[in-house]
Amino acid sequence: MTSQATRDKKGPSTIVKSIGVILGIPVVIGLMLWAFLAPTFASGPAGVPIALSAPEQMQDSIVQKIEQGAGDDAPEIVIKNSEDEVRDAVLDREAVGGLVLTPQGASAFTASGNGAPYAALIDGLAGNLEAQGMTVEKRDLAPTTADDPQASGIGLLGLPLAFGGVISAVIATFVFRGKKWVKLAVLVGITLLGSLVATWMLHSVYGTLNGSFAAEWAAIACGILATSMFTAGLAGLLGAGGIGIGAVLTIFLSNPLSGLATGPWLLPAGWSTLGQWMPIGATGYLVRSLSFFDGRGIGHAWWTLVLWIVVGAVLLACDRSRSKAEAAAKA
């Protein structure tokens, strides 16, 4: 009887567990690949905002030529009243670039800090104007650094932001079970040091970033803390299942929809919006703005990260892992 009861308590057999793992891991691999490839293959320049200032009698014909030339991938042309408005739209990141046409010639404003695809898009439109015999002056309003002209380092932030946040939460959850204030201190400590290393490498070692070191450090720190606090808070309430939910949200949703490498505008509209309301997307947008755009147009990114951190803190304050541990011990 005792032997039978012991076998019953063991749960699924080794064979069943093995089959579950063998079948489950390939499914996870497939889902992960789909999460990254689906947004990529659905991406394109359609709807990318470009600011335009031109004499009223020229506006319709210019917009028509741009739309006809681009076909289904036509950008969204945002009409502005002056060159200053076009410049402000680009610097505030309301548009990825801009064109200003006057009877004397034209100006093309790019912003390399948004990402290379957008600069190439504006250069292509400027080339079309030059082919029509117009003189076009080209200016980069938000240049990247000479050490990393493609700002490739920002695209690699996804790994420390995603895994740094999730791994921090796993360590805090299982090593300091039931000690929510210790968890909080550990998460903050890991965040501060981890983000300092990441900022130092991107700013001082590889030269990707060239803004305020302190501001960039704060942005990356908030990105890591937003993920780690939220995941640890879920784990405090739900146990290992909370870690799973946090990891899925981070790896399968936040990271592939972040637009870290290219900015959010190339992603499909709904997906890009969702990505910018998640920690990794908000952090990438924030870091680019702080480094290349003098910190303009960053309000929503800061508030997004603060919201995730506050929600995580509230969940962590409701940590039930101590009572669960005590109940298990009494049982």
Average pLDDT for 28-47 = 64
Please tell me the distance from the alpha carbon of residue 218 to that of residue 193, in angstroms, as a whole number: 11
- Whether the pLDDT of residue 3 is over 90: the answer is no
pTM: 0.86
Q: How confident is the model at residue 176 (pLDDT cuts 50, 70, 90)?
A: confident
Instruction: Output the pLDDT for position 61.
Output: 82
> Measured between alpha carbons, how far is 280 from 267 in angstroms, rounded to an integer?
15
* More confidently predicted of 276 and 67: 276
Domain with CATH 3.40.50 in the chain: 49-140
pLDDT tens track for 56-102:
888 888 888 877 776 667 788 899 999 999 999 999 999 999 999 98
| pLDDT of the residue at 65 | 82
Q: For 40-54, 147-161, 316-330, which range has the lowest pLDDT when averaged over its residues?
A: 316-330
Task: Give the closest residue to 156 by CA, choosing from 201, 89, 190.
Answer: 201
Contacts of residue 176, Cβ cutoff 8 Å, sequence gap at least 6: 182, 183, 186
- Whose tokens are 């359609």? That residue is 46
49-140, CATH topology level = Rossmann fold (3.40.50)
Q: What is the pLDDT of residue 314?
A: 94
DSSP SS3 for 39: helix
Q: Angle at Cα 284 formed by Cα 253 and Cα 49, nearest 5°?
A: 90
Asked if pLDDT for residue 320 goes beyond 80, the answer is no
pLDDT at 1: 45
How far apart CA 317 and CA 309 sit, in angstroms, is 12
Calpha distance 60→39 (Å, rounded): 32
- Please give the C-alpha separations between residue 122 and each of 116, 117, 129, 314, in angstroms, as whole numbers: 10, 9, 11, 45
